[in-house]
Structure 1
Amino acid sequence: MASLSPVDRTLTSRFERKYLLDPGMLPEIRSWLSPHMGHDPFSAKCPDHRYSVCSLYLDNENLNLYHQTKNAEKNRFKLRARTYGDNINDPVFFEIKKRMDQIVRKDRVTIARDKALKYIESLSSYAPSETDLGDTNFLRFVQSVEKTQSRPILLVRYMREAFESRTIDPVRVTFDSELQTQLAPDGKITHCEGEWTPVDVPGIILEIKYSDRFPSWIQSLVNSFGLRYTSVPKYGYCVEASPSLAAQAV
């Protein structure tokens, strides 16, 4: 099985807007997008054009990173390790997702699965591990983990359908659904194993990601369907859906 590793052309520095959709709106919105966008290469070759995204979120015992988002702090960040499959050849993507007011920046580094899992295991066991893997972004991730005293907290899993623009201006639109979570203090990243808890989200999560100006044709989409910009923090939803963490989320 080939490694599934979606590429986001708006990845480095971008703006994001999120909306919640009634599932019944999805076919019409897909049709509306078709002149401007096509499925990204990974959605295009997946059954029903959706693929699984699974992220291990790291935080400290006080859930400080969760509270940054809950309190809508203008400058905040998340620490996560993301995978797109359980194949031994599927890499792990370590990400620092920073929000600086309206701008979102992701520092992302790809690490071979065996080395990545060894590092995550060391976090769970509070044991020293090799962190010099020759990448500045990974070193930055490790330093952020150490500074915040973060450890593996939980897994966030969902199905994603992704579109990308046909034009030079990079625009990415994703539809995320079937949000689920499970506690992961051992740091194990899996798409299939364990006891997953469905997380109640009032609709399909539409994310629009763009690098410069909000495209006029996207604005027309928003206006035509009466979409309302909202905050949909998946990690926050999953913390609040986990009974053992919910008390700390107050």
Structure 2
Amino acid sequence: MNTVYKDLKFRHELKFMINRHQYYILCQRLKNLIQHDKHAGRNGEYHIRSLYFDDVDSSALSEKLGGFRDRRKYRIRIYNGDDQIIHFEKKIKVGDHIAKLKEPLTREMYDSIIRGDYEVLHQPDKPFMMELYREMKHNLLRPKVIVDYVREPYVCKNGNVRITFDKELRTGLHATDIFDRSIQPVPALDDHLIILEVKYDEYLPEYIRTALQMDGLRHQSASKYVICCKYLKMNSWEDQ
């Protein structure tokens, strides 16, 4: 295994596509069992915007569509449109488990990357930064699509459980600057559909597992990156 992965903690991740009716029922159950994430606003939500990257062969997209069990995705992520917290992340999937690598970026570093100046990533004391630098230089890792949504998060200490409802999934179409205020993201998914994600360490407490049981609720693939890429491709065809 890559030495960068040596100390990574892998977690279980389950994804579900649910409708508004299912969302309301599940929320009512969970509110009596677990807490909102402390980072959520007064309404229990926060906004996430990510800029996903892919290489010259669109490997991340192809591997997901091809059903590869071991995959990776690179993205820059911000919260609530703020530039005080910017992270370059790598999401790693090995079988049914996921892990994440991330490094903070300053706004100046982000702006340099968007301009195509990748030397800011050349930091020999930081293995993940050097990995990004090599990907940019040799595999032509480049910005592909903006993914934009509202997240309602819940957490539970038992099992280190994190449950999120991701709503209003939108994409910035051909835009590749997450701080561009002129961007008007368009819906990439029916607003009646919500992506439910359940992450946990070694076990999922039985009372949470029971609360999540519902007729028609089936574990399925629900990649926001793929959904937005498909929308982008479809929109490009319609423009021709």
* TM-score above 0.5, yes or no: yes
TM-score, length-scaled by structure 1:
0.81
**Pairwise CA distance, 1:131:** 1.8
TM-score, length-scaled by structure 2:
0.84
The aligned counterpart of 2:134 is 143
Amino acid at match of 2:170: Q
CA deviations over 1:70-94 (Å, ceiling 9, x no partner): 1110111111100113334x22111
Cα RMSD (Å)? 2.4
> Among residues 11, 16, 23, which one is paired with 1:14 in the alignment?
11
Distance 2:194 2:87 in 1: 24
**Pairwise CA distance, 1:204:** 0.9
The aligned counterpart of 1:194 is 183
**Pairwise CA distance, 1:244:** 6.8
Does residue 80 of structure 1 match 2:69? Answer: no
**Pairwise CA distance, 1:216:** 1.8
CA deviations over 1:5-61 (Å, ceiling 9, x no partner): xxxxxx942110011222122232122113431111121xx2422111000011134
Distance 2:159 2:119 in 1: 41
Equivalent pair of 2:121/2:130 in contact (CA under 8 Å): yes
The aligned counterpart of 1:108 is 102
Does residue 36 of structure 1 match 2:30? Answer: no
Name the count of aligned residue pairs: 228
Q: Any residues of structure 2 matched to 1:117-128 within 5 Å, and which?
A: 117-122=111-116, 127-128=117-118
Between 1:59-68 and 1:72-81, the stretch displaced more is: 59-68
Amino acid at match of 1:200: L
Q: Provide closer, same or farther for how the CA distance between residues 33 and 86 of structure 1 changes in structure 2, counting only shifts above 3 A.
A: closer
- Percentage of pairs with the same residue: 24
Unaligned runs of 5+ in 1: 1-10
Does residue 181 of structure 1 match 2:175? Answer: no
Amino acid at match of 2:29: W
**Pairwise CA distance, 1:226:** 4.6
